[in-house]
A and B are shown apart, each in its own frame.
Chain A
Amino acid sequence: MLLFTRLLQAISVLLFIGTAYAEHTSNWAVLVSTSRFWFNYRHLANVLSLYRTVKRLGIPDSQIILMLPDDMACNPRNAFPGTVYSNADRAVDLYGDNIEVDYRGYEVTVENFIRLLTDRLDEDVPRSKRLGSDAGSNVLVYMTGHGGDQFLKFQDAEEIGAWDLADAFGQMWEKKRYHELLFMIDTCQANTMFTHFYSPNIVATGSSELDQSSYSHHADNDVGVAVIDRWTYYVLEFLETQVTSANSKLTLGDLFDSYDLSKIHSQPGVRWDLFPGGEQEGRLRTVVDFFGNVQDVEIENANATDPGSLKEDLAEIARLIEKWRTRDAEYAAIIGNSTSPSADAHSSTVHLKTKRAVGPTKMADESSWGKRLVGLSVVGACTAVWVAGTILGRSA
Chain B
Amino acid sequence: MTDKFEDHESRHSSTSLKSVDNADNQNSAQRVPPPETPEAIQTRFRVIAAFWAVIIFLGFPIWWKTTSIYRAHLPIQEMTEWSEGKICRPVFPLEIQIAAPALQMTESQHLVRTTQHALDDLNEFAAHHLRLKLANATDLSDNGASMLSGQNTGDGADTALTVRVLSEDGLSTPRSELHAETTQLDIFYPPSQVPVPSSSNPALSVFIAEELQRLYSEEKATIAYILSGGTSGPDAESISRRLRRSMKYADTYHLSFSLFTPGAAPTSWDIEAAIQEYLAPLLFAFTPISNFTIDTQVQMYATFSPMAPPPLFDEVESAWTLKKEDLSAFINAAEWPLNPSIGNGPTLNFVLYVPDPSQSPMVVKENRASSWIIPQWGGVFLLNPPLETTDSSGSRTNPAHLSQDSLRPAFMTFSHQLLTLLGTPATPSSLPLRLQSMIRVRAAALLLSASSTMGSLARLTESLPSIPIPATVAASVAKTLSQLSATCSHLREGRFGAALASARIAESEAERSFFEKSMVGQVYFPDEHKVAVYLPLLGPVGVPLIVGLMKEVKRLVAAWKARRLSKA
- Where the two chains meet, the residues of A that have a C-beta atom closer than 8 Å to any C-beta of B are 13, 16-17, 20, 23, 25-26, 55-56, 58, 60-62, 98, 110-111, 114-115, 118-123, 126-129, 132, 134, 136, 161, 163-164, 167, 170-171, 174-176, 246, 294-303, 306-310, 312-321, 323-324, 349-352
Question: Would you call B263 an interface residue if the criterion is a C-beta within 8 Å of the partner chain's C-beta atoms?
Answer: no
Inter-chain contact A302/B231, CB cutoff 8 Å? no
Q: Which A-chain residue is minimally distant from B237 (CB atoms)?
A: A16
Residues of A within 8 A of B324 (CB): 297, 299
B244 within 8 A of partner (CB): yes
Q: Are A297 and B374 in contact, with the CB atoms below 8 A? A: yes
Which residues of chain B are within 8 angstroms of A317 by Cβ–Cβ distance?
A: 278, 281-282, 412, 415-416, 419, 431
A352 contacts which chain B residues (CB < 8 A)?
275-276, 280, 283, 294
Q: Which of B242-294 contact A (CB under 8 A)?
A: 244-245, 248, 275-278, 280-285, 287, 291-292, 294
Does B143 belong to the interface (CB within 8 Å)?
Answer: no
What's the nearest-Cβ distance from chain A to residue B222, in Å?
12
Cross-interface CB contact of B180 among A110, A119, A303, A319, cutoff 8 Å: A319
Q: When the two chains form their complex, are residues B284 and A350 in contact, meaning their CB atoms are under 8 A apart?
A: yes
CB pair B346 A132 closer than 8 Å: yes
Known contacts A16-B236, A313-B416; A302/B244 CB under 8 A:
no
Q: Whole-angstrom distance from the CB of B409 to the nearest CB of chain A?
A: 9
Task: In the A-B complex, list the 10 residue pairs whose CB atoms are closest, starting with the nearest.
Answer: A308-B426, A60-B333, A295-B328, A324-B281, A126-B341, A313-B416, A163-B524, A62-B339, A174-B456, A128-B341
Q: CB < 8 Å: which of A25, A164, A175 contacts B514? A: A175
Q: How far is the CA of A306 from the CA of B428 in the complex (A)?
A: 11
A147 to chain B, nearest CB (A): 16
Q: How many Å lie between the Cα of A318 and that of B523 in the bound state?
A: 58
Query: B368 near A: Cβ within 8 Å?
Result: yes
Give the CA-CA distance A61 to B237 in the complex, in Å: 31
Give 5 A-B pairs besides A299-B324, A350-B276 with Cβ atoms closer than 8 angstroms.
A121-B515, A164-B522, A171-B464, A321-B278, A351-B292
Q: Is the CB of B287 within 8 A of A351?
A: yes
* Complex interface: chain A residues within 8 A of B275 (CB): 352
> Complex Cα distance A346/B275, Å?
14
B489 close to chain A: CB less than 8 A: no
Q: Which residue of B lies closest to A309 (CB)?
A: B426
CB contact under 8 A between A351 and B283, given known A121-B517, A136-B244: yes
**Is B425 in contact with chain A by the CB < 8 A criterion?**
yes
Q: Return chain A residues, CB-CB under 8 Å to B459.
A: 174
Residues of A contacting B327 with CB < 8 Å?
297, 299
Please indicate the chain B residues that have their CB under 8 angstroms from the CB of A319 in the complex: 180-181, 431
Is B33's CB within 8 Å of the partner chain A?
no
Bound CA span A352–B282, Å: 12
Tell which of A13, A23, A129 touches B244, judged by Cβ atoms closer than 8 Å: A23
Residue B519 at the A interface, CB < 8 A? yes
Minimum distance in angstroms from B452 CB to a CB of chain A = 8
Q: Determine if A316 and B283 form an interchain contact, defined as CB atoms under 8 angstroms apart.
A: no
A298 and B517 in contact, given A316-B429, A351-B291 (Cβ under 8 angstroms):
no
A170 to B524, CA, bound (A): 14
Q: Interface on B for A, CB 8 Å cutoff?
A: 148, 180-181, 230-232, 236-237, 240, 244-245, 248, 275-278, 280-285, 287, 291-292, 294, 307, 324, 327-329, 333-335, 338-339, 341-344, 346-347, 364, 366-376, 412-413, 415-417, 419-420, 424-431, 452-453, 456, 459-460, 463-464, 514-524, 526
* Set of chain B residues within 8 Å of A60, measured between Cβ atoms: 333-334, 338-339
Which of B236, B344, B364 lies in contact with A299, CB distance below 8 A?
B364
Bound complex: CA A301 to CA B516 (Å): 45
Q: Are A307 and B520 in contact (CB under 8 A)?
A: no
Given A132-B346, A171-B460, A295-B328: A115 and B520 interface contact (C-beta under 8 Å): yes
A171 to B459, CA, bound (A): 10
B251 CB to nearest A CB, Å: 12
Please indicate the chain A residues that have their CB under 8 angstroms from the CB of B236 in the complex: 16
Note all chain B residues with C-beta closer than 8 A to A164.
Answer: 521-524
Q: For A170, what are the chain B residues with a Cβ–Cβ distance below 8 Å?
A: 463
- A20, A110, A175: which contacts B240 (Cβ < 8 A)? A20
**Which residue of chain B has the shortest Cβ distance to A60 in the bound complex?**
B333
B271 to A: closest C-beta gap in Å: 12
Alpha-carbon separation in the docked complex, A23 to B452 (Å): 22
Option from B148, B245, B415, B526 in Cβ contact (under 8 Å) with A313: B415
B373 in complex: contacting residue of A61, A298, A306, CB < 8 Å: A298
Distance from B438 Cβ to chain A, minimum over Cβ atoms (Å): 12
**CB contact under 8 A between A302 and B369, given known A60-B334, A122-B517:** yes
Contact present for A300 and B521 (CB under 8 Å) = no
Closest chain A CB from B261 CB (angstroms): 20
Chain B residues with CB under 8 Å of A111's CB are: 520, 522
User: In the complex, which of the residues A110, A120, A161, A308 has the most CB atoms of chain B within 10 Å of its own CB atom?
Assistant: A308
- Cβ contacts A to B, 23 pairs, < 8 Å: A23-B244, A58-B329, A58-B333, A61-B333, A61-B339, A98-B334, A118-B515, A126-B341, A134-B248, A163-B526, A176-B452, A295-B328, A298-B375, A299-B364, A299-B367, A302-B370, A313-B416, A317-B282, A318-B412, A320-B285, A320-B431, A351-B283, A352-B280
Instruction: From known contacts A55-B334, A164-B524, infer whether A308 and B412 are also in contact, taking CB-CB under 8 Å.
Output: no
CB-nearest residue of chain B to A306: B426
Distance in Å: Cβ of B44 to nearest Cβ of chain A: 28
B237 close to A302 (CB less than 8 A): no
> Cα distance A126–B518 when bound, in Å?
18
Shortest beta-carbon distance from B254 to chain A in Å? 9
Q: Which residues of A contact B284 (CB under 8 A)?
A: 324, 349-351
Contact B413–A314 (Cβ < 8 Å): yes
Whether A299 contacts B369 by the Cβ 8 Å rule is yes
- How many Å from the CB of B273 to the closest CB on chain A? 12
Q: Whole-angstrom distance from the CB of B353 to the nearest CB of chain A?
A: 14
Question: In whole angstroms, how far apart are the Cα atoms of A60 and B347 in the complex?
Answer: 14
The residue in chain B whose Cβ has the minimal distance to the Cβ of A162 is B524
| Residues of the B chain whose Cβ atoms lie less than 8 Å from the Cβ of A323 | 148, 181, 281
Question: Which of B415, B460, B526 is in CB contact (< 8 Å) with A174?
Answer: B460
> Nearest B residue to A124 by beta-carbon distance?
B344
Q: Which residue of B lies closest to A12 (CB)?
A: B237
What's the minimum C-beta distance from B346 to chain A, rounded to whole angstroms? 7
CA distance A286 to B1 in the complex (A): 49
Closest chain A residue to B333 by CB distance?
A: A60
Contact in complex: B291, A25 (CB < 8 Å): no
Inter-chain contacts of A110 with B (CB < 8 A): 522-523
The answer to whether B376 and A26 have CB atoms under 8 Å apart is: yes
- List the B residue with the shortest CB-CB distance to A302: B369
Q: Which residues of A contact B148 (CB under 8 A)?
A: 323
| CB–CB B373/A300 < 8 A | yes
Q: List residues of chain B with CB within 8 A of the CB of A318.
A: 412
Tell me the complex Cα distance, A303–B368, Å: 10
Chain B: minimal CB distance from A244 (Å): 11
Asked, given contacts A167-B464, A167-B521, A320-B181, whether A301 binds B367 with beta carbons under 8 Å apart, the answer is yes
Query: How near does chain A come to B252, taking the closest CB pair, in angstroms?
Result: 11
B369, closest chain A residue (CB): A299
Q: Is A308 in contact with B427, judged by CB distance below 8 angstroms?
A: yes
Contact assessment for B341 and A320 in the assembled complex, using a CB-CB cutoff below 8 Å: no
Chain A residues lying within 8 Å of B294, measured Cβ to Cβ, are 352
Cα distance A266–B334 in the bound complex, in angstroms: 36
Contact B515 A119 (CB under 8 A): yes
Determine if A313 and B419 form an interchain contact, defined as CB atoms under 8 angstroms apart.
yes
B520 touches A302 (CB 8 A): no
Q: Which residues of B contact A58 (CB under 8 A)?
A: 328-329, 333
- In chain B, what residue has the closest Cβ to A96? B334
Pairwise interchain contact B517-A120, C-beta atoms closer than 8 A: yes
Task: Look across to chain B and name the residue whose beta carbon is closest to the beta carbon of A313.
Answer: B416
Q: Residues of A contacting B366 with CB < 8 Å?
A: 299
Q: State the Cβ distance, B559 to closest chain A Cβ, in Å.
A: 37
Q: In the bound complex, how far is the Cα of B415 from the Cα of A318, in angstroms? A: 10
Q: Closest CB of chain B to A124's CB: distance in Å?
A: 9
Q: Are A307 and B426 in contact (CB under 8 A)?
A: yes
Given A110-B522, A164-B523, A307-B428, A321-B287 contact (CB < 8 Å): no
User: Among the listed B334, B374, B417, which residue makes an inter-chain contact with A61, where contact means beta carbons less than 8 Å apart?
Assistant: B334
